[in-house]
Structures are given as C-alpha cells and as structure tokens.
Amino acid sequence: MDDLERLFENVANTVASWPDWIGPAAILVAALVSALVLHFLLFFAMRHFSNTDSGILGSMVRRARRPTRLAFVLAALAITVPRLDLPYRLQGWLGHLFLILLIVLIGWTAILLTRHFSDRAVRKHRLDTEDNLAARKFVTQVRVLRRTAIILLVIVTASAVLLTFDAVQEYGVSLFASAGAAGLILGLAARPVLANLIAGIQIAITQPIRLEDVVIVDGEWGWIEDIYATYVVVRIWDWRRMVVPLSYFIEQPFQNWTRESASIIGSVFWYLDYTVPVSEVRAKLEEIIRDSPHWDGKVVNLQVTDTDKDTIALRGLMSARTSPQAWDLRCEIREKIVAWLQETYPEALPRLRGELAMVAPDTASEGQR
C-alpha cells in the first residue's frame, strides 16, 4: 500500500514539474484527434448505410470528404483554442494557422463546387453520338471556363494566404510603390500565361475549335482531344498527340473540318488513257457510291479536270457524314473503279504510245554512205 501511494506521489510530482503549456497542448491534440475520428466515423456510416456510389449524393460525398476533414479540424481549433490558457505566442501562431486553413477551405470549397456543377451540367450532353455538334459546343464552353475559373480561384486563394504574412504585405506595398519597372517586368514574365488564359476565354465564347473537331494544324490531321487552360491536345490519326498553345488557335490560321457540320466532300483522281469511256465511268461511279454505306446521299460527280500528252485526269467527288467515313469512301471507290477498269476496259489504263517507221533498204544504204 505504501508503494502504491509512493508511485502516485511520484507521478503527481512529475506532472507538477511539467511546463504549464503541456496540459493545454494535450487537450488541443486530443481535440484534433477527436475531430478526425468523428469525421472518419461520419463518412464510414454514410458509405455503409446509404448509396454513395453513384448519383448526386455519391458525387457530393466523394468530393466533400477531404474539405470536410479540414472543416472538422477548423471547428476543433475554433472551439478549443479560446478555452485554453496557452502562451500568447502560441495563441498568435494558432490564430494565424486557423486563418490560413479557413482561406484554403473557402477556396477549396469553391473549386469543388465549380467542378461538381460543371460535371452535372455536361452529364446529359453525349459526345459519342453521330449528331453531337450542340453537345460539343456546350461541353467545350463548360470545360474551358471551368479550368480558367479553377486557375483564377487557385491564384486568388494563394494570394490571400500570402497576404496574411506581414513580410508579404510589406513587399506588396513596396512593389506597388515602384509599380513602373516592377510591373513591366512582371507583365513581361507573365505574358505567355496570361495570353493563353485570355485565349481560353476567347475560345470558350467564340469557339473556333470544339472538342472532337477535326482540324489540320501544321500539316497534321487529327481531332481536338482536350482543351486545357493553357494548351490544346490534338489526337493525330496515327495516335500521336500534338500539344498546341491555346493562343495558336487565336493568332494562327488552321483548318477546321467540322466547324458547322461534320459532313465533308472527298475527291478521288484517276489518270487514264484517252480512250476511256468517261460516261460509262461516271455511271459506274454513281452505281458504286449509291451502294456504299459510307455515302450520305448528297454529292456524287465525275469530271475531266485535266489533260496532258499521255493521260486525262478524272476527278470523282463524293460526300460523307464525317471525315473518317469520307476517307473510307474514297479508298473504297478508288479500289473498285480500278478493279472495274482492269476487268472491263483494260485498254483505258495509262499506257505509252510509240510510232515505228519502216525505212526502205536503198534509203538506209545511202544514209550509211
């Protein structure tokens, strides 16, 4: 019994010798741990007792998990710190930390809400349908404006956090006082980023390009795969990716094959002999095109577009709903017309003519002398 009393007495003496801030710090740590545990239990219960895998509720729960954890920590600080007898310096440090976390929480929440409502807005607009022009317009606007808004929110949040420090405020005042040279330097340094951000807003409003548009950039044919805040990813036909700054599509000329419609006219050329029956080739071309599943039923034509000393040039025009279908249609027509000519009019294929002159023997012998 005496040993137990002596043990309690030693523990009490040890605790009494600790600094005064140990107890409040332990309470603060316990409050933070309790907040994190409560947050975990809350989301554990929501995940197991409600359907949060899909739908609006599921999307909101998944997006809100991390910011609400920060909100629980802030709530623990707001409730605990005013009731603790902490040193003045530690209280000031915790107050500054609380302000920074509050600013981060507000910016984070704004970003998550921007993403959530933009995703909800584009969910009903499908890009995998054949007639998706309206959907591509809307989705392009929402995505570009969302990414621009997120960048601006990040910049504003970071600036607000930095301005909570006295040193940064003093530097900002001195920078504002010398705004001439410093502003010029900062403007030149930030020009590429700002130019692309402004170009992104212009593209979202005027839409010279949209998602899944067929474009030709620097001689490369491909689709607009994605539009980010400062650059565009073009998916080339052979699966390569071309990364192009947003400002390029504002300042440089390029071809957009699907600006108003995905329909396009393709052409096929044949270089044949002068003896080819053009009218029969025209009839056969129309017959093959009408039987093709790639033709959209609009344009079919055959014309003699050029002649030279050996061949004539026949150009066939045909339309299709999309550029990939136009490519397949051109290849199909080219192959079938060549096969038909080989079978039906082989003499109409390109050939070289020569003239053989017979020379009399006496004339030849006189020439030799």
In a domain, 134, yes or no: no
In a domain, 33, yes or no: yes
Three-state DSSP class for 261?
coil
Structure-token pair, residue 155:
């910049």
Domain that holds residue 324: 264-348
Domain shared by 55 and 81, yes or no: yes
Q: How far is CA 199 from CA 47, 195, 249, 340, in A?
A: 42, 6, 8, 52
User: Tell me, what's the pLDDT at 11?
Assistant: 46
Domain shared by 24 and 73, yes or no: yes
User: Tell me, what's the pLDDT at 19?
Assistant: 54
DSSP conformation class of 362: H
User: Tell me, what's the pLDDT at 233?
Assistant: 94
pLDDT tens track, the chain, 369 positions: 555 556 545 544 554 454 555 666 677 778 888 888 888 888 877 777 666 555 566 667 777 788 888 888 888 888 887 777 766 777 778 788 888 888 998 999 899 889 888 888 888 877 767 667 778 888 888 888 888 889 889 989 998 888 888 777 776 666 555 555 555 665 565 667 777 778 888 888 888 999 888 999 998 999 999 988 788 999 998 999 999 988 899 889 999 988 887 788 999 999 999 999 999 999 999 999 999 999 999 999 999 999 998 899 999 999 998 888 999 999 999 999 999 999 999 999 988 766 777 766 665 555 555
Please tell me the distance from the alpha carbon of residue 104 to that of residue 73, in angstroms, as a whole number. Answer: 13
Domain shared by 181 and 215, yes or no: yes
Domain shared by 274 and 344, yes or no: yes
Q: How far is CA 13 from CA 31, 85, 246, 288, 340, in A?
A: 26, 21, 70, 102, 107
Q: Which of 76, 65, 148 is nearest to 109 (CA)?
A: 65
Report the number of distinct structural domains present in the chain: 3
- As a dihedral over the C-alpha atoms of residue 134, residue 138, residue 139, residue 144, rounded to 10 degrees, the angle is 140
